[in-house]
A = this chain, B = another copy of it.
Amino acid sequence: MKFLRQAWYAAAWAEDLQASLVGRTILGERVVLFRKPNGTPAAIGGVCPHRFAPLERGRLEGDAVSCPYHGLTFSCTGQCVRNPHGDGRIPKNARVPSYPLLEKDTVVWIWMGDPAKADPAKVPDFPLLNDTVNYTRTAGQLLNMSLRWDLMLDNLLDLSHAGFLHLANLGSEAFSRGKMDVERHGTRLQVNNLYPNGLPAPVFVGTGACRPDVYVDYWVNVRWDPPGFMYFDAGITPTGHDRSEGVQLNSVQLLTPESATSTHYFWRLFRSYRLSDSGLTAGIEQMVSQAFRTEDEPMVAAVQNNMAGRELMDLQPVMLSLDGGAVRARRIIEELIRQEDEHMAPVAA
């Protein structure tokens, strides 16, 4: 699997990055994340170039990281700044990569490509997430899944599966009458879903958003940015009423490939109702986490197993209308990777 490299990726929730080392694999590269004494986040390569020891087991010393095996110390620029052995001379090649980081909307983003090309304007924003007056948000969640990230993306850009797989929590019988509308804006997709006039999904009833017997219009509008970053504007309103009369249960859902076969799945919900009920916040985290862990993860794992390492399109899958968003997203990613390859290609003589 090829990854888009000239791109920002979600690396951590801001709240999970404190004054200690966090080791993480992103696009197959081992990195170590930390905060400098001044509070800004930093990331350098996670493998010592001397004997390939894991730097995240070492120590954070100011804004430098010392190796747990032989004590070589690397600054946040990746340069070795201390060799405690022999004459203390620092070998020329004693350095690790460093990565541009950016903290925004509770997410720490990492740039995995050429540092000179790291453009902060390319990070997607999640404005309502910062509106803590009208919304209450869950803690930032991170599930590490032994699943290909593209199959997880297919899963999240197709909500119709909730009408079969998640009837006990996120979906409802109305999903089988859903309407999906996909629009492309540059490299961004807007995938709008409407499930009109159905009984509400259990997640709304169970969180006190509405009564179980009221009929509602349920909308889930998904904004996607490549390669795997989504903003869900979702909610219910009594059938036929304006959305402003309803409630929202929005979310941010971010897929960062760990390796060719595993994924970091970051997610955080924020709601517009019962704002001060902190028990409810924890309940939402648990209910949604359980749907992801006990319904999505085993299903996508079975799919991945049945695919036996082959690429989706090589298997010539039957195409349904529900695949519209996921298929277009795959095409945009392919375009972007092709563009990267062309930029990398040597100029002909």
Binding site for B on A (CB under 8 A): 30, 47, 49-54, 57, 67-72, 80, 83-87, 91, 93-94, 154, 158, 160-161, 163-165, 176, 178, 299, 302-303, 306-307, 315-322
> Which B residues lie within 8 Å of A93 (CB)?
316, 318
- Supposing A160-B70, A161-B70, A315-B52 touch, asked if A85 and B321 sit within 8 A by C-beta, the answer is yes
Closest CB of chain B to A81's CB: distance in Å? 14
Q: Give A154's nearest chain B residue, CB to CB.
A: B51
- Supposing A69-B303, A176-B71, A299-B68 touch, asked if A50 and B318 sit within 8 A by C-beta, the answer is yes
- The reply to whether A49 and B317 form a contact with Cβ atoms under 8 Å apart is yes
Q: Give A310's nearest chain B residue, CB to CB.
A: B52
- Supposing A69-B165, A302-B57 touch, asked if A322 and B85 sit within 8 A by C-beta, the answer is yes
- The reply to whether B49 and A306 form a contact with Cβ atoms under 8 Å apart is no
Closest CB of chain B to A252's CB: distance in Å? 24
What's the Cα separation between A42 and B93 when bound, in Å?
A: 51
Closest CB of chain B to A251's CB: distance in Å? 21
What's the Cα separation between A32 and B159 when bound, in Å?
A: 26
- The reply to whether A94 and B318 form a contact with Cβ atoms under 8 Å apart is yes
- The reply to whether B306 and A86 form a contact with Cβ atoms under 8 Å apart is no
What's the Cα separation between A71 and B177 when bound, in Å?
A: 13
Closest CB of chain B to A74's CB: distance in Å? 11
Closest CB of chain B to A312's CB: distance in Å? 8
- The reply to whether A317 and B51 form a contact with Cβ atoms under 8 Å apart is yes
What's the Cα separation between A321 and B85 when bound, in Å?
A: 7
Closest CB of chain B to A11's CB: distance in Å? 19
Closest CB of chain B to A97's CB: distance in Å? 14
- Mind listing 19 A-B residue pairs with CB under 8 Å? A50-B320, A52-B307, A53-B299, A53-B302, A68-B165, A69-B165, A70-B164, A70-B322, A71-B163, A71-B176, A80-B318, A84-B163, A85-B178, A85-B320, A85-B321, A86-B321, A87-B321, A91-B318, A94-B318
